[in-house]
Chains A and B, each alone.
Chain A
């Protein structure tokens, strides 16, 4: 119980700093000074002080979307195998439940974008749904491939079994699933090469196009929730493939988790410097490729690990 609460607090407070760290890594690698890792936190503070405002003609989907997005991210932060496998919601800490929660947040935001009735909201929502339709099955399949060895789809049990036998990570199954998960993490969190989180070009946006009409505290909530989703997905990756430290005492396990996610985030940001954004019509090809890798991971787990 305490472990789950500690996870939520760490992810809630730490995720804006993760975004700040990634921006700072990118800035330094591009030869810029950067705004410092606390800048997203300062942005959130600034947005929270503004008056809440909603466009004319929007209804409850627009208002509810940020709350649903943040709530789903918080629940995943509580149940995921990040710093402890001992979740009070253990039966819910299932890979299907986690994937569904993340999808719920995405759909809520897409509905919020559609509710504004603007061309950009609809355009962003349509693109986001295209990406999601390819991302969610890949997450499911990749995690499913890892669950076959354990015989359970409970994320905590998968992580615990890898933590007991760290060498089991070095297998074709894990490798294929890891690559697939990296690609969908980049797609799901709107990073290059699928989306560009720092662009001002409205017509190229996916995630940002959906949230163009949000302002003030609502926007702060969305930014915060997006940061948490990034942290949670990186944490899930860390929990499934490098769960070392998860069996340690809670304070130590939290510290190990923070370091792992920071390293993963920094690596992702560094990799982004060398990438460019794909033409929109090539994104499904990339995601289909990651789906294929996940499918191969499932097949491999049957052939290699059942034997």
Chain B
């Protein structure tokens, strides 16, 4: 990790240089410092990490916006303004992001001196939706309460006939203050929060969190534990991918494949239960290492892989299902790159971004170039097969009788420290940054779920699609609301 101290004047030049050399903006976090805030910009390029530290005064905090250099940076800056009150100057979209309009003005919940929230009112008035004008244009508002059991999001479509002219997704209905909850806890007690950031990504977030803590504490993880962690990450990927393959078929009313995917998912959850004692794989990854109850049965997983391959073949062999998937909601490679998308959304649009490349030897990500629902379906289908082979390789190197590999954390005070953890969860690259205070307690934890990067890609992919295809497209992205809105 390279740390560069920058000033307001030199920030943009450093950012431009890093982006130009192929780095990606992984995280922006405001960290409370004695003089105000220390704003951290984390860039990654493979395993190469660079942090820019920009000091910002506590009274009237301002920083120059780098939104013109990086689209995700603009969103991080809006998030930071809402939660810390740090104003990005010359921001192209100086609107609220996280805090809805009924949140009080001038109250920034993440600040140390925020205190209890004042009365909520209507300080900003109603949320302004951009209205599209023209003959026959009308609006369809959907949500945030939906007919099915899904997370809350408000979508407003401007439509002519059935064609979508513009979609505005309004999120941030589930702000829990989970980053604030981390503060003051000992690092071990932060794990249970990390596992619950997004319920379907327990391992991904737990792993990124533990890696961040270990890098702050300078703890070396036993090599066996590294393998167990990689194995758990793939188990999580498989069960989530299977669920969504079935759900995609269900969204085009081909329910029988969803029923079979549900059957396969259940057998995977039972394997999870045997392996970690928890159906959603909680408790396997711990600070300093990993613990398992048993190794997964590779033959059973291979049989499941064949089952899934049959479901996929049946889905893509069905002419109507294929017609619904193919060419629907194309996200171009250029758009995917500009928006900084991650995970299977990016890989289906031809970007070979995958953090596992840096941890697994000889790993090659599954990439498709179509950018449509079909490509996202196929990437996920192929990743299931790839994950099963990764697990088979990892299980061969592990001893079934010895599955408890944990390096104890150093005790006593060791001064302030910071660390970064990066894990390729099933949705994409998860980044955590942990700052410990002098007593070794958590001072600041910043969590970035890949959904934060991928949400803006959904309306882009949908322009030109038709309204009744939206649920299918949304499912093909399957972004987290809880992981996005912390």
Residues of A within 8 A of B (CB): 26, 29-32, 119-120, 122-123, 192-193, 196, 198-204, 273-282
Contacts and interface: CB of A to CB of B under 8 A. Distances in A.
A280 B320 contact: no
B111 to A, nearest CB: 40
A191 to B, nearest CB: 10
A277 B467 contact: no
Given A203-B468, A277-B253, A30 B259 contact: yes
B141 A119 contact: yes
B471 A201 contact: yes
A201 B256 contact: no
Nearest to A277: B253
B343 to A, nearest CB: 23
Interface stretch (B22-30, B142-150, B357-365, B412-420): B142-150
Interface string B124-142: 0000000000000011111
18 contacts: A31-B260, A193-B253, A198-B255, A200-B147, A200-B148, A201-B471, A203-B142, A203-B470, A204-B468, A273-B256, A274-B256, A276-B252, A276-B318, A278-B320, A278-B324, A279-B466, A280-B466, A281-B162
A122 B159 CA distance: 13
A209 to B, nearest CB: 10
Given A275-B254, A277-B253, A203 B320 contact: no
Contacts of B323: 278-279, 282
A203 B467 contact: yes
B141 A29 contact: no
B146 A202 contact: yes
Contacts of A120: 140
Nearest to B254: A276
B253 A31 contact: no
A122 B136 CA distance: 13
Interface size class of B (residues with CB under 8 A): 20 to 34
B273 interface: no
B466 A281 contact: yes
Given A200-B148, A201-B148, A204-B468, A275 B320 contact: yes
Contact of A276 (B139, B259, B321, B471): B321
A202 B142 contact: yes
Contact of B251 (A201, A274, A282): A201
Contact of B468 (A26, A31, A32, A280): A280
Given A202-B146, A282-B323, 17 more contacts: A26-B255, A30-B255, A31-B263, A32-B259, A119-B140, A119-B141, A122-B138, A203-B470, A273-B255, A276-B249, A276-B252, A276-B318, A276-B320, A277-B254, A279-B323, A279-B324, A279-B466
A211 to B, nearest CB: 12
Contacts of A193: 253, 320
Contacts of A123: 140, 467
A273 B468 CA distance: 21
Interface string B109-128: 00000000000000000000
A32 B251 CA distance: 18
B342 to A, nearest CB: 26
B469 interface: yes
A196 B254 CA distance: 10
A279 B469 contact: yes
Contacts of B162: 280-281
B468 A30 contact: no
Contacts of A278: 320, 323-324
Interface string B452-472: 000000000000001111110
A203 B253 contact: no
A32 B142 CA distance: 31
Contacts of B148: 200-201
Contacts of A276: 249, 252-254, 318, 320-321, 324
B259 A31 contact: yes
A200 B471 CA distance: 10
B139 A119 contact: yes
A275 B254 CA distance: 6
Interface centre among B140, B147, B252, B255 (most CB of A within 10 A): B255
Contact of A277 (B147, B252, B256, B259): B252
Contacts of A202: 142, 146-147
A273 B249 CA distance: 12
A227 to B, nearest CB: 20
B250 to A, nearest CB: 9
